[in-house]
Structure 1
Amino acid sequence: MKHTITINEILNVKEPADRVYMSISCDNNWLAFCLSGEPVEEKSIGVSMAVEGNSQWVCNLKTGHTFPVAPEAKSSWAGVWSPDGKTLAFFSDIEGKARLWLWNSFSKTLKLASDLVVRPFFGFEKPIWTKDSQHIIVKSMPSVVIDDDDYYSFSNQDNIILIPDHSPKVYTTINTKAKEDKSNLNTWVNRYRADISMINVNTGFSTLLCSGLRPVGMEVSKDGHYLAITNCLGEERINTQQNIFELWICTLEFNGNHKTQRVATNIRMNYGLSFCWGHDNKSIYYTTSGPLSDGGLWLVNTSSVKHELLFKDEKTHLGHDYDPPKLLKNGNVVMIANGKLWYYSSNSRKLGEYLVQEGRCIVAGFPVSDDNQMLIQTHEPIEALDGFWEVNFITGETKKVLEEPKGHLPWYEGGAAYGDHENGKITYIFQDADRPPTLRVFDIGTKSELTVQLNKINTEQFGSSQIIRWKSNNRELRGALLLPKDIKKRVPAIIRVYGGSMQSKNIRLFGLSPMKCDNHQLFASRGVAVFLPDLPMSRSHEPADEITKAIEDAFDALAKHPNIDPNRIGIIGHSFGGYSTLVAITRLQHFKAAIVSAGLGNLVSFYTQVELKNSTPNFNYGWVEDGQANMGATLWEERERYIRNSPIFDFHKIETPVLLVQGTRDHLCHSEAGPMFSSLNRLDKVAQLVFYDEEHHQGTWRQENIEDYYKRVFAWLKKYL
């Protein structure tokens, strides 16, 4: 009997946690990795929304045996092996609050390192071991009162009763200038507020290193005597999304005499991670990132507090959110940026590039003990090949370690690590359209490998993927196609659309999607093909024209495929993809069924909509004028442009049956679905509207509502395709 994939099977697929490092023990025997989970109803003190539901796992790299080290925890993450390779330090909310725990790889025992409540925010913020394996540096709960709703760091608030506020709410445009006030602008950065403490793993005693900061990035100097910290000040200017940081250093004196000093300020970075210590333990190198950054390489002397720009070039932006610069023994600085590997020569003060094989983009880098070499992770987009290469900084030579038609997850998505010991081992998580995330251990010396299945799922009805190519406006475009298994006759298909997105890059993702709730094997196992085309946009201020042309060209390419029935093609889109779907069915009569999820049909109403969040009005001006809609002007300057790019004014042209899906707690466009359905009803069009008590995207929905959503989608497609 043919097996159709269920929602429950897909939602239970184990995936690596986002932006959480892997860690390999120094003896190459153990791997620590983190799997993602679902949000939990009962919040734990110190556990942020960024890591909630994650679980810390370990894998024996000789046997492949994998298991969670804290199965009783609701959230556990950020495991790092001690320098001696014996102990894993990680964060866990066992007993309802986030603390540092230790797992011994020899005795297989777990113990609490300290009762200190920790407070990291992002998954990449990990415990930092001192070189002697005796102390661990962590971010801890500050002594000041914390009030940020998106963090879940509150304590003793289980019995709070919220009293409705019936008082009048007054807003005035006179307060517009007050938005520039830094105190109002940057309250969100309080989610980073934390003390920095050092825990003695033998006694459990904790020492306060510094307080009063909003720390994000931390790194210990090479001699182990200093800790560098980036302190987030918030957004530099309203509507810029440019974060700025200070750079602080803290002495690590085990006699308790700790001193902190600010050595640089107003540093433009996104996450505050792109810095490294020099060999002299006095220099700190960093690159800038973000929309207002110069993309330069800078040097800070912590003794003289001298700040020097080493390199800046308008043609080459060296900003990188995750990989910091790497300092070589010869004084050169190596950086990954814009998919390339760069080096700055301290002698010539010029920038050069290490060339990897043509067509390879560099995704991440893994330093080795020899400062003159690096392992890099690469992606070749044309044939969708992912791999690893070795780079020799002395000779400039690169050597391929492995490359394959699989999708590798870079470390900042939780999927790769390098054990620089003996012959060296690469551990990485890979996937494909018909394969869920899988762990592999590759021995560089012996070329042997160990594959560890993270998921047990029936794959007999998984569809297979391929790339379709076509030309549009003298440009070659591509699309990722997922075909049902064992096709005996032409099959129906749906096109998933999202204007401006190059969706062919999803070709190696499980089910052609980074989100479990959008896994397209759900359709393929039911005999429906799924097509994800590239739909580029050029910001012409006429998004509807651009989207229509792109979708029509993609439709024509799909309709020519020998396995696709051109008379049974539907269309689906979420959010801006919902807008793209509405544009398509008002201008093209090709589609037999349409599903619009959290879409918007009226740029005029969306532009003037006021959304109240925490008693503060949010406006959509930026999104419409210069964001995805990109009208390029106000409504009163280009009224007709707004009208012709709002599909609702062309709803009388729709011939396609439309299923509208909307979450009532959607903070972006919850008010759009009603007027759209009302319009379709008045025009006697075939339509159905389904409201769910949920937020914007199905990835946050309760499972029963996701199951109901797909039940209706499958029924809609079965009826009209």
Structure 2
Amino acid sequence: MTVPRESSTAAEVTGSMSPEVAFGRPELATAGEGRFSLDRLGRRVVFQVHTPPETAPAGQPRFLPSGTPACAVGQMVHYVDLDGGGTVQVGPDGANSWHPSWSPDGQTVAFYSDAGGSPNLWVHDVASGTSRLVSKVGVKAKLWVGDEPQWVPDGSEVLVPVAPDEEGTDGEEAASPAEGRPTARVYRSRDEPDDTGSIVELNEHYLRENNATIAAINIADGSVRVLVAADATPRPSAAQVSPSGRWVSYLSVALQDQSEDAPTSGCFHDLLLMSTAGGHAAVVASHIAQSESPPGYYLDTYIWHPTRDQLFWIDQGRLWTVEIDDKPGQPRRLAPSLDTLTVTPLLLTRTCTSLIIGIGKGEQATTDHNPVPHQLGVVPLDGSPHTVIAPPTDLADPYVVRQSHAVAWEPQPGAIAVQMRNPSTTEPVLLRVDTTTATITRSWQGPAKLDTVGATPDHRSLVAAYEDFRHPRDLWILDSEGHRERQLTTVNPLLSGVRLGEVDTFQTRVPQHDGTFADATTAVLLPAGVRRGDHLPAIMFCYPGGRVSHRSNQFGGGMPSCLPLTPFFDRGYAVLLAEAPIGPDGQAGNPRAELAAVLVPQLYHAAELGYIDLERVALSGHSYGGYGTAATISATNAFAAAVALQGMYDLTSSYSRLTTGTTTSMYWYFETGQARMGAHPWKAPQRYHDNSPYHQADRIQTPLLLIHGADDDMCHVDDAGMLYNALKRLGQDVELAIYDGEGHVPYEWSRVNAVDALHRVLDFLDRHLSG
């Protein structure tokens, strides 16, 4: 089935986008980089803009030595009025600023900045237009949203995570030769059997990154009150303030449970409560499974009722609540007949009299996402019977749109908005769902990427980050149906001149790991001025188990393989964004064979439809997609060239390789995670051998370009060197480019290296796909 995609309206386009511009352009930050928010009166929205720096931190560390998260480098906070007016920058020039939050009166923005050399609390006054440092106390900034400054209701203080005095390290640090002492770094295995040592090391890692003192900082004079010390038991991480301001709730650091009676795998928090005046913290709920969907690690676990001191959370598929007066009451279950609830959604209706929850089928979370709800439920707080709502079966992945963090958006009273995905076109669909009658109306569908921010207090207008193939990501006001009403930001005006072609999608029946068949969606992105039937040379991008086709809804097709696509269009290449449905994470599989089985039919189908020249198509992927690229060309000769970036190519050696700052924390990745090996190499040696491109190198006939950062600590450069030498010895056409000082993600590299890598890919394709 082929589905033509209508071109989005846009200003007259005049040119192309060079690799230099593509890697250096400012963009509206994603939901994972910054938590956009409306002030409580619905007058302004605060957000972040990311401008990639010319020079990236060496090796792409998770944190800089200063304590600034690497993902905050190049971030700057802004706000804009919903009634019109220009964008206002918040924070000092020449520094990184991130994770803003509005004061209760909407007149002040609190945020973090490293203008003083390390992360500190700053505030910006809207009336005066000035920003200032509040306190020099070091903030323990996190990689994920949810650690933003938390205002008390009267606006006098904010709660922030403060850096502990000492940070732990793995192993014994080596001495300097100049000190006259041995330079050995020593690691010692634990006495626990099997993978317990790995769990211990992972927990130490989680504590280093997330453990913090929770402190209240006075906005006027910068004085600091410690509420919970970092070394408290359990170790504190991220806090919220109750609606009355009398209570502080906080999550402990999520740790893996190594006990034999652990209910599920994964990480677990405790939820605790204490008075904002200080004192003893009480455990409200223990051993709550952490959300597995970034960026919701801190935000998805529980919510406060917006107007009274009452908490709600989901634990092992069950819905719980506790009311707090002078002290916490006894937790009690709501809707006790429901016991397969998903982590999200967990929201209150507009009247705050019912909860919106998700009903699953009892599936376990994987390493990168929570189970998706199959139904929605409406649970009245007064104990009345709950209502079950079944979303349309032709759509997938229901997401309840929020008005605020704890309240669902109701474009009409009693009717919530639910965003879903059309699998056949990859397009988002907005539904209006009546919570009383369960009536569902489709209000909007389009070829776009839509990330909702929140709605005004009257629920009339929704603010969202919107982009499509022709429109770069910006903030828009949407009407009650979901249609774009007014653009709020123009982050990069120059992008309106980029000349882009058309986008189509088609579906192909492909075999599955279990012997069944499924529909895989492929997006075709064409250069300007060409059409179906022109049989272009092309490059297909893949990611095993992923839906790369969704990127067709992003501006210019996004960055599959961490590479911007507009330079490929400029050289006349079509782009195929493939869906690669292979066996599930955590189960023993054969990803090498499964990948070839799902990608090759999509390739042939694209040729039959006239989009591509079958004999001039390259395959590319990054990280697990880099592995997938090399694995696929070891199983089929259907591709004329291949480009693998930052992949693992020998699964056995990668399994036990030492990585910086730890030892064996990759066990889980292979045995119960994305690698799909299902066991360690001594139990399943043939599976590791059969699925490693290095061990199948004698089957590779396709010219291959390998690109790797020398300091990649996730997929070690040695794997790329091994595969290169194997293919060289076998007399195959192979090229390896290693970039010193660079890590795992090419679009985060220093610009000169990222641009060079892209030019290298383009030149490689020109040589092998020229016909």
TM over 0.5, shorter chain? yes
Residue 551 of structure 2 aligns to a residue whose secondary structure is: helix
1:534 to 2:579 alignment: yes
Amino acid at match of 2:766: K
- What is the correspondence of 1:355-434 to structure 2 with a 5 Å cutoff? 359=395, 361-367=398-404, 376=417, 378-382=419-423, 383-386=425-428, 393=435, 403-410=445-452, 416-421=453-458, 424-434=460-470
- Provide the C-alpha distance between the structure 1 equivalents of 2:725 and 2:693, rounded to a whole number of angstroms: 14
Q: Which residue of 2 aligns with 1:485?
A: 528
Question: Which one-letter code corresponds to 2:149 in the other structure?
Answer: P
1:420 alignment partner AA: P
Residue aligned with 2:88, SS: strand
Q: Which moved more, 1:631-640 or 1:127-136?
A: 631-640
What's the offset of the Cα at 1:594? Answer: 1.5
Pairwise mapping of residues 467-546 of structure 1 onto structure 2 (< 5 A)?
467-473=505-511, 474-487=517-530, 489-513=534-558, 517-538=562-583, 541-546=589-594
Residue 77 of structure 1 deviates from its aligned partner by 1.7
Q: Secondary structure at the match of 2:249?
A: strand
Moved more, 437-446 or 54-63: 437-446
User: 2:735 aligns to what?
Assistant: 688
Partner residue, 2:110: 89
Q: Provide the secondary structure at the position in 1 that maps to 2:159.
A: strand
| Structure with greater strand percent | 1
Report the alpha carbon displacement of residue 714 of structure 1 after superposing the two structures with TM: 0.8
| Partner of residue 291, structure 1 | none
After superposition, the Cα gap between the structure-2 partners of 1:516 and 1:656, relative to the gap in structure 1 and judged at 3 Å, is closer
Q: Which moved more, 1:569-578 or 1:595-604?
A: 595-604
Secondary structure of the corresponding residue to residue 495 of structure 2: coil
Query: In the superposition, relative to structure 1, how do residues 93 and 650 fare at CA in structure 2: closer, same or farther (>3 Å)?
Result: closer
Distance (Å, rounded) in 2 between the aligned partners of 1:561 and 1:369 = 43
Looking at structure 2, the residues matched to 602 and 182 of structure 1 have their Cα atoms a distance apart, in angstroms, of 23
2 CA distance for matches of 1:227 and 1:444? 35
Q: Secondary structure at the match of 1:545?
A: helix
SS at match of 1:495: strand
Shifted more, 9-18 versus 38-47: the winner is 38-47
1:596/1:135 Cα in 2 relative to 1: closer, same or farther (>3 Å)? Answer: closer
Q: Which residue of 2 aligns with 1:318?
A: 342
Q: Tell me the amino acid that sits aligned with residue 230 of structure 1.
A: L
Query: Per the alignment, in what secondary structure is the counterpart of residue 677 of structure 1?
Result: helix
Structure 1 gaps of 5+ residues are 150-158, 289-293, 411-415
How far 1:654 moved relative to its partner?
A: 3.2
Partner of 2:660: 613
2:474 alignment partner, SS class: strand
The answer for the alignment partner of 1:166 in structure 2 is 183
Alignment match of 1:21 (pick from 21, 35, 57): 35
Higher mean Cα deviation, 365-374 or 58-67? 365-374
3-state DSSP of counterpart to 1:696: coil
C-alpha separation in 1, matches of 2:307 and 2:84: 42
Question: RMSD of aligned C-alpha atoms?
Answer: 3.7
| TM-score, with length taken from structure 2 | 0.80
Give the 3 Å change call, closer, same or farther, for CA 674–481 of structure 1 in structure 2: same
Equivalent residue letter for 1:248: L
Q: Which residue of 2 aligns with 1:627?
A: 673
Whole-angstrom CA distance in 1 between matches of 2:279 and 2:94:
34
What's the offset of the Cα at 1:343? 2.1
Q: Which string of whole-angstrom CA distances, capped at 9 and with x for unpartnered residues, describes residues 412-439 of structure 1?
A: xxxx222214x73322111123332122
| Aligned amino acid, residue 554 of structure 1 | Q
Distance 2:434 2:611 in 1: 47
Closer, same or farther in 2 for the Cα pair 1:247/1:558, shift >3 Å? same
Stretch deviating more after TM superposition (91-100 or 515-524) = 515-524
2:252 to 218, 225, 231: 231
Equivalent position amino acid for 1:430 in 2:
Y
Q: 1:577 to 1:309 in 2, by over 3 A?
A: same
Which letter maps to 1:166? T
Cα 1:610–1:164 change in 2 (3 A) is farther
SS at 1:651's partner residue?
helix
**1:343 to 2:378 alignment:** yes
Deviating more after overlay: 108-117 vs 8-17: 108-117
TM-score for both structures, normalised by structure 1? 0.85
Question: Aligned partners of 1:52, 1:515: CA distance in 2, in Å?
Answer: 22
Mapped pair 1:568 → 2:616: yes
Higher RCO (C-alpha under 8 Å, 6+ residues apart): 2
Deviation of residue 364 (structure 1)? 3.9
Residue type of the alignment partner of 1:558: A
1:156: which partner in 2?
Answer: none
Give the distance between the partners of 2:307 and 2:495, measured in 1 at CA.
53
**Counterpart in the other structure of 2:625:** 577
After superposition, the C-alpha distances for 1:663-691 in whole angstroms (9 at most, x for unaligned) are: 22222232222222222222221222222
Cα distance change, pair 280–664 in 1 and its aligned pair in 2 (3 A): closer
The 1:30/1:44 distance shift into structure 2, 3 A limit, reads: farther
- One of 648, 658, 676 as aligned partner of 2:723: 676
- Give the C-alpha shift of residue 565 in structure 1: 1.7
Secondary structure at the aligned position of 1:436 is classed as coil
Residue matched to 1:5: 17
The match for 1:36 is 50
Conserved 8 A contact 1:92-1:99: yes
Match of 1:186 in 2: 203
Q: Which residues in structure 2 correspond to 1:76-225 (within 5 Å)?
A: 76-121=97-142, 122-142=144-164, 144-147=165-168, 166-167=183-184, 169=186, 176=193, 179=196, 186-188=203-205, 189-212=207-230, 213=232, 214-225=235-246
Q: 1:524-564, CA deviations, whole angstroms, 9 ceiling, x for partnerless residues?
A: 22211111211211366332221121121111111113232
Amino acid of the structure 1 residue aligned with 2:422: P
Classify 1:674/1:396 alpha carbon distance in 2 versus 1 (closer, same or farther; 3 Å): closer
Return 703-712 or 36-45, whichever deviates more. 36-45
Post-superposition CA distance 1:421-458 (Å, at most 9, x none): 4x733221111233321221235599842353211226
Task: Please tell me whether the aligned partners of residues 373 and 390 of structure 1 are also in contact (alpha carbons under 8 angstroms).
Answer: no
Secondary structure of the 1:689 match is strand
Distance 1:166 1:563 in 2: 59
Contact 1:44–1:93 (8 Å) recurs in 2: no
